[in-house]
Structure 1
Amino acid sequence: MGSANSRTALRTLIHALINGQSLPHIFLTLNPVDIHSPVALYFAGVKLDLDNIQIEQLINTYKRAEIIAFHPVATAKFFHLLITNILNTMIIDGVLGPIKAYFGTAESQGRGSLHLHLLIWLGHDMKLADMEERIQDANFRDKLKAYLEDIIKEDLDDFKDKHAFEDSNVPRSFNTPIRLS
C-alpha cells in the first residue's frame, strides 16, 4: 500500500469511482496461498513437472514456507501471473458479464505474501433503489438467486487431501492449524 499519501490518493480514486459509478457491486479479496502452490515453488527454483505433479514431489509445509520466504521476487511473479489470469477471465473475458469499472489494490500480509482487494462495478444500470423495488417481485428474486448461484463458486475439495500438502507423518485434520516448531 505504501505511504500515507499513497493510501490517501487511492482512497480519492475510489471515492471518485463511487461518485461516478455508485457503490461497487462486488467486493472481492484474492488471497493466493503461495506456500501451497506448485507454480510458486517452480518460480522459486524448485524442480517440478507442472504438467504431472506427484505427491512425492511436494515437500513439507515448513520447507515450502522457507523457500517462498527466501524468494520474494519469485513469489511476486507468481502473484502477478495468477492475478492477471483471474482478472483476464473475470473482467476482460466477461465471466461476470459486462464490467463498467474495477479497482484493485495489492497489499502484503504480515508474513509478506500478497493479496488483492478488488471493487467491481457490473455493467448493468440498476441502482440500489431499483434493486430494492425489483426484489419484491418473486420472479425477479428467483432469477437473481439463480444468477448468483451460477456466478459465485468455491470449491475446496481438491485441497482436503492432507497428503498432498502436509508431511504425511503428522496426523491432523484439514481444519487443525499447522504448528511450525
Structure 2
Amino acid sequence: MHSSVALYFPGVDLDLDKILPEALETSYERVKTIATHPVASAKFFNCLIISIFKSLVLGGVLGPTKAYFGTVESQGRGSLHLHLLIWLNHDFTPIELKQQIQNEDFRQKLLKYLEDIVKEDLDQFRDNSHSFILIYNL
C-alpha cells in the first residue's frame, strides 16, 4: 500500500527514478487507488514476491535452501499477504541439532548467524518525516 511501485502498476503517472514524497498521493488516496485496481495490486504483489525470492530465498541469504512453501491470502483491504516456510539445506536431524546445541562454540556461532539474518522490523526503511515506507530497488 505504501510503495510508489504499487501505485505504478494501476497506472498512476509517476517517474520512479525521481519520486519525491510530495509527488505521492495521500495515504487514503493510495489505498483507494490500490483497492480499485485488484489486478494491478496482484501484479505488484507478484513482482515483490519474485524479488524477495530471488534475493533472499534463491540468492542464499539464509543459506542453501532445500525447499519452501508459501500460501497467499487476501487481507480484505485490497492487499495480498504471504505466509512462507523455508527449509534450509543442512545435514542436521532434529536429534543432531539438539546434540550440537550443547556445544558452547556451536551455540555461539548459531546465535551469531541467526542474529545476522533474522530481522523483526523494517525500521531502516522508514522515513519518519513522512507516513510511508520507502522501498527501493525492487
Aligned position for 2:77: 111
Q: Which residue of 2 aligns with 1:161?
A: 128
Aligned pairs for 1:20-169 (under 5 A) are 35-153=1-119, 154-165=121-132
Whether the 8 Å contact between 2:9 and 2:44 is mirrored in structure 1 is yes
Counterpart-to-counterpart distance in 2, 1:82 and 1:120: 17
- Residue 55 of structure 1 contacts residue 164 of structure 1 at CA under 8 Å; is this kept in 2? no
Q: Could you tell me the percent identity over the aligned residues? A: 56
The higher radius of gyration belongs to: 1
Gaps of 5+ in 2: 133-138
Letter of the 1:156 counterpart: D
Residue identity opposite 2:41 in structure 1: T
Structure 1 runs (4+) deviating above 4 angstroms are none
Asked if the contact 2:66–2:88 (Cα under 8 Å) also holds between the matched residues in 1, the reply is yes
Letter paired with 1:77: K
Counterparts of 2:24 and 2:33 in 1: how far apart (Å)?
A: 12
Deviations 1:53-96 (A, max 9, x none): 11210111111111011111110010000001111112222121
The alpha carbon displacement at 1:119 in A equals 1.1
Q: Aligned pairs, how many?
A: 131
TM-score w.r.t. the length of structure 2 is 0.87
Distance (whole Å) between structure 2 residues aligned to residue 110 and residue 76 of structure 1: 13
User: Distance between the aligned counterparts of 2:16 and 2:70, measured in 1?
Assistant: 29
Whether the 8 Å contact between 2:68 and 2:86 is mirrored in structure 1 is yes
In structure 2, C-alpha distance between the alignment counterparts of 1:163 and 1:120, rounded to whole Å: 34
Q: Letter of the 1:147 partner, please give it.
A: Y
